[in-house]
Chain A
Amino acid sequence: MIEVEGLTRHFFSGRLGKERVEAVDEVSFNIKRGETLGLVGGSGCGKTTLGRLLLRLIEPTSGRIIFDGVDILHLKRREMRRLRPRMQMIFQDPDTSLNPRMASLESISEPLKLKGGLTRAEIEDEVSRLMEKVGLSPEHLGRRPHQLSGGQNQRVVLARVLASNPEFIVADEPLSALDVSVQAQIFGLLSEMKRDRNITFLFISHDLNIVRLMSDRVAVMDRGKIVEVGPTEEIFRHPLHPRTRELVSSASMDGQLTLMLKEGLISTVTRRPRPRMGGVCDDNPMDSKSSRLMINAGCR
């Protein structure tokens, strides 16, 4: 689906722009259709720049990007614009990913309007279908980003992205600005998109634990270069590069917590809910069974 070869982007900084910073340096990798590649690295390692380069939102200094057999760096402006809806991007900070002067309705319908050939009613139908899909209610249609919470804004972003009917999505830290419980909700939506629409993802994150849940393969980036790529579990079990080891160990820094939680969940299974408050709540054996299944899944 995506093939990247020797992709490089320099920035110039410092006095008179003489210092050359290699934000992305000779990066090569590929992603198969329907696959999710996790991209991890510390802040400032160039992972955000790489994401934007892939969609040609910024121009690379050199290299090649093949999307679905097309070398997108050699496309003319017009051809590129026609291709763009097929590749989308989700940003870290949902509050800045939406035009502050546009209500949700406008934001979500924009890609549909650009596509053309749809009547007003068709657009409205499609928007409400998308809103429902991402868990927003019609009352949110008229609201602007500052009237919505971070989680709700990220849902609007997802609806807008889905409106383009993309095949490939670069998700740049889509969860890290959100609360724990909202993270889980958005994560659920992303995995649904991946599953139901067979969308190819580049999932950028600094949190290895999230990447682990989401990705088939993981690439580790450090100072502009990809230093290790491999199947997710392989990377976790046998990290080779020192940078990967560092990331894996800081991800399992939550080890103490994991231990406590898992121990706790084992006891939750034995601790079956019993009726209280005059038997209003029945002790349903199905409940404890299904909760066991969920727990097993959680501990996988």
Chain B
Amino acid sequence: MSRKSAFSAGLFILGAYILVALLSSVITPYSPTALVGRPLDGPSDTHLLGTNDLGQDIFSRLLYGTRATLIIGLLGALLSVLVSTLVGTVSAYYGGGVDEVITRSVDVLMTLPSFPLLLVLTIFFAPSIFVISGLMGVLGGTQGIRIIRSQVLSLVEANFVYGAKAIGAGDLRIMTRHILPNVLPLATVKFVFAAQRYMLMGVGLGFLGLGDPSVVDWGQMISRAYYNGGFALGLWWWLIPPGIAVTLLSVALALLGYGLEEEIDPRLKRSVAI
């Protein structure tokens, strides 16, 4: 598959997910938390994917779950990219003592295993999806600082940055007009892959029962199906749909990232050099 079609396919699927998330309250036949039928019903006209052990409509829960997962993934990734780009750029641009302090702190933070740390912190703070994505963003952001920093480090030495300095451009202008636009493609790719990772982590937290109890998410759904007999009784409509939803979204983000990678280097687009 070409990078272009990978990008389009990824974007299309992600777009569909976002649409579902936005419209879930309109297109779902039932409230996701209401008890609307007999427990453990199979798929039927009234309940497309049947009901769970409490008699909640699985189809409605599936659509609503898109919201939590997307928010955790996208918001977490956005925060993490903001943190890493901001800190990484400042650190590399100014160098010296500022850089030293930041680099050492990142080195220390990098030694901490992030998922267990996230678990502990989530339990410590109240687990709402915004707290979770915030924690993911800050923790994940520190991992990205190094990558952005090394990219900016090479840009700071680039002739065009010296040239900008020579015409009298200030630090802020150099950073925003000359450095950031050249970091942005890398940051975008990082964002997409981070979104994929955080979404899966979010589902993982939900599965472990550490997700936000006030919202519906796919992790909780899978865990509920797994522990309350869905797996043992072979009730596929209960277990499989959230799994497929997670996998497809993850694939979409992977395709998007792969398609975007070309953007990192505009020279990749150049035709054969003679």
Q: Which residues of A contact B (CB under 8 A)?
A: 52, 55, 57, 81-85, 87-89, 91, 93, 96-102, 110-111, 114, 144, 146, 157, 160, 163-164
Contact = CB atoms under 8 A, between A and B. Distances in A.
A93 B159 CA distance: 8
A297 to B, nearest CB: 34
Given A93-B159, A101-B182, A110 B165 contact: no
A147 to B, nearest CB: 9
B160 interface: yes
Contacts, number: 68
Contact of A97 (B163, B165, B170): B163
Interface in B75-114: none
B169 interface: yes
A102 B161 CA distance: 12
B167 A98 contact: no
The 9 closest A-B pairs by CB, nearest first: A84-B168, A101-B181, A91-B159, A111-B167, A97-B159, A96-B159, A99-B160, A81-B168, A57-B162
A82 B170 CA distance: 10
20 contacts: A83-B168, A87-B166, A88-B166, A89-B162, A89-B163, A89-B166, A91-B159, A91-B162, A96-B159, A98-B160, A99-B178, A100-B160, A101-B182, A102-B181, A110-B164, A111-B167, A114-B173, A144-B266, A157-B163, A160-B167
B246 to A, nearest CB: 36
A25 to B, nearest CB: 22
Contact of A91 (B163, B164, B169, B181): B163
Nearest to B166: A89
A146 B266 contact: yes
B167 A96 contact: no
A114 B173 CA distance: 10
A114 B182 CA distance: 21
Given A57-B165, A160-B167, 12 more contacts: A55-B166, A84-B166, A89-B163, A91-B162, A97-B163, A98-B163, A99-B160, A101-B182, A114-B168, A144-B266, A146-B269, A164-B167
B167 A100 contact: no
Contacts of A91: 159, 162-163
Interface in B148-175: 158-160, 162-170, 173
